[in-house]
Amino acid sequence: MIRSITQQKPEEEIDQLLNGLGRVFMIGCGTCATLTHTGGEPEVKAMKENLSGKGKLVTGEMVLPVACDNLTAEALKEHGAQIGQSDVLLIMTCAFGVQTIARQLEKMVVPALDTLFIGKETGLGRFDEICTQCGTCILGETGGICPVTSCHKGLVNGPCGGTSNGKCEIDSEKDCAWTLIYNRLKELNRLDAMRKLQKPRNHQGEPSPGKFKLSA
Amino acid sequence: MSTKTPSKLEEILTAGHLAVTSECGPPRGSDPEDITKKAEMIRNHVDAINITDNQTSVTRLCSLAACVHLKMMGIEPTLQMVVRDRNRIALQSDILGAASFDIHNILCLSGDHQQFGDCPKGQNVFDIDSMQLIQTVRLMRDEGKFLGGDEIKRPPQMFVGAAANPFADPFEIRVPRLAKKIAAGVEFIQTQCIYNLDKFELWMKLACDRGLHEKVYILAGVTPFKSAGMAKYMKNRVPGMDVPDEVVKRMSGVPKEKQAEEGINICVESIQRLKEVEGVRGFHIMAIEWEEKVPEIVERSGLYPRPDIS
């Protein structure tokens, strides 16, 4: 399942964003942020204790089942009174959740998390970005591995000169995407695919910010 | 073979001479003397001088302006261009800018990732890759067209180069990648610094077996070590660099005050051995912040005087 991968902002940044705002309502998310241990029940509880220790009044807290879902509007209503008493909402969800909530309420929102990427859990506690939704998919020519996302330079015509023991020049913990592609195509006996000169990418596939409407 | 551009480098290679190129890194400031002094030291010993483009992603005076300084001195520059920092509009624009000063050589590169440099928090571009940059310059030169298809008035006349690293892995990919660059339209290659001569010779042999040496001029890249410390650093810290243990050992085996000399010796011996390798058509001497040693290396390697072509 695709997940929105988040990490908590530095404490000082959160303190600064909440500066002068004494009454805080807190919102976590039961989906991605729970999985990444950034905005589930335990993290919301810990944040509450931390804020209380700093003299903030926490008017209430909740963990939405799926913060980015439209049902969030209904769930927020149940806490209308506590939300109404707050100066600010401290939101421990990804930015999809923050924006979904911000649209529902006439309140300032403060994100407690940074949204890193849309990724996949590829091992226990390990998350990888595997698609950047570029709008012009070339997976059919790369053995199903995306160089646009997985190569730090987004190269589409093969590796740069920095591959070292199958790892990327900038991070020895990260596989070189083109080494993976080479190995996969070799297994599939399709190395000829690497000879194809890929044209400059079409960034107009869906220019950012994306907007899409189903035709009737 | 006839030349396709007014490039002196192309003419020398086409005439069958072993070419010698070197490089100068622009300063982290705006004093033109930082470039002109370096260039002055080596101008009589090389055919063309590469100007690096914010190498290792550290912000410096731009390659194009530095190339113009060389041009004003009557020295032939090679504009290095990385695709890390500019989109296709800016790249084409800078190619035209260079062409307006009659800069006739270009080296098309991906560029080191910005994480290595002084702006690791910056955004990279990589709108096109080095392969596509080669195609872009050829399109602009040969068809007189922009990537968008429109006509260019007074198209650039540039001899098109690229880098090749025989030492990055997987090794099996490296000759096919050279072939792909040739298919994209590259005309000369400057290789990564060669310390592992056996591996380079193997790469070169595989390239020759495919006839690639007849389709592109390959200049073997060399960099003299200043010290044993530099050898160790290059071995352990520089991505895609292959420095065999025996080379590090040889550098470490001489007293500190003799290490610079030993580094030059190794460089000269490498050139002499590489001169005999089929497919090697010249040398690219990258004496990083040690330009004053280039004349000695060129002379001791029997590559001096340079052919007089005007």
Of B115, B136, B180, Cβ closest to residue A157: B180
DSSP 3-state assignment of B141? Answer: helix
Q: Is B307 contained in some domain?
A: no
The CB density around residue A85, as the number of other CB atoms within 10 Å, is 12
Residue of A156, A149, A145 lying closest to A197 (CA atoms): A156
| The one-letter amino acid at A129 | E
Whole-number mean pLDDT of chain A? 95
Which pLDDT belongs to residue A119? 95
What are the structure tokens assigned to B218, written together? 């390959």
Q: Is B309 contained in some domain?
A: no
| Cβ contacts of A191 on chain B, cutoff 8 Å | 176
Considering its fold, how many domains does chain B have in total? Answer: 1
Q: Is B138 contained in some domain?
A: yes
The answer to whether B37 touches B26, Cβ cutoff 8 Å, is: no
> Can you tell me the mean pLDDT for B246-260?
97
Asked, as a colleague might, if the bond just before B170 is cis with ω within 30 of 0, I would say yes
What are the structure tokens assigned to A154, written together? 């987004």
Q: Is B200 contained in some domain?
A: yes
Of B168, B169, B184, Cβ closest to residue A197: B184
- Taking CB atoms and an 8 Å limit, are B129 and A203 in contact across chains? no
Which pLDDT belongs to residue A101? 96
pLDDT in tens, B236-245: 988 889 999 9
- Taking CB atoms and an 8 Å limit, are A162 and B239 in contact across chains? yes
Question: Whole-angstrom Cα distance, residue B62 to residue B67?
Answer: 9
pLDDT in tens, B156-186: 999 999 999 999 989 999 999 999 999 999 9
Question: Whole-angstrom Cα distance, residue A63 to residue A44?
Answer: 8
User: Which residue bears the tokens 């001899």?
Assistant: B159
| Cβ contacts of B240 on chain A, cutoff 8 Å | 161-164, 169
Q: Is B3 contained in some domain?
A: no
Residue A216 pLDDT level (bands cut at 50, 70, 90): confident
Answer whether A205 touches B (CB < 8 Å). no
| Cβ contacts of B179 on chain A, cutoff 8 Å | 195
ipTM, two decimals:
0.91
> Can you tell me the mean pLDDT for A16-29?
98
Our CA-based measurement puts residue A57 at a distance from the nearest CA of chain B, in whole angstroms, of 36
Which pLDDT belongs to residue B12? 98
pTM (predicted TM-score): 0.95
Answer whether A158 touches B (CB < 8 Å). yes
Our CA-based measurement puts residue B29 at a distance from the nearest CA of chain A, in whole angstroms, of 27
Q: Is B308 contained in some domain?
A: no
The CATH number for B246's domain is 3.20.20.220
Residue A208 pLDDT level (bands cut at 50, 70, 90): confident
- Cα Rg of chain A (Å, integer): 22
Of A152, A159, A170, Cβ closest to residue B173: A159
- Taking CB atoms and an 8 Å limit, are B168 and A161 in contact across chains? yes
- Taking CB atoms and an 8 Å limit, are A154 and B126 in contact across chains? yes
| Cβ contacts of B164 on chain A, cutoff 8 Å | 161
> What domain range is B53 assigned to?
8-300
| Cβ contacts of B170 on chain A, cutoff 8 Å | 163, 166, 179, 182-183
Q: Is B216 contained in some domain?
A: yes
| Cβ contacts of B180 on chain A, cutoff 8 Å | 157-158, 194-195, 197
Residue to substitute from A141, A149, A157, A183, interface B, most B β-carbons within 10 A = A157
Chain A, window 163-192: residues with a beta carbon less than 8 angstroms from a chain B beta carbon? 163-166, 169-170, 178-179, 182-183, 191
pLDDT at B310 over 90: no
Residue to substitute from B55, B91, B92, B129, interface A, most A β-carbons within 10 A = B129
pLDDT in tens, A42-62: 999 999 999 999 999 999 999
- Taking CB atoms and an 8 Å limit, are B131 and A158 in contact across chains? yes
Q: Is B176 contained in some domain?
A: yes
What are the structure tokens assigned to B173, written together? 């990919």
pLDDT at B67 over 90: yes
Question: Whole-angstrom Cα distance, residue B261 to residue B251?
Answer: 10
> Can you tell me the mean pLDDT for A134-152?
95
Our CA-based measurement puts residue B182 at a distance from the nearest CA of chain A, in whole angstroms, of 11
| Cβ contacts of A157 on chain B, cutoff 8 Å | 129-132, 180, 184
Our CA-based measurement puts residue B158 at a distance from the nearest CA of chain A, in whole angstroms, of 21
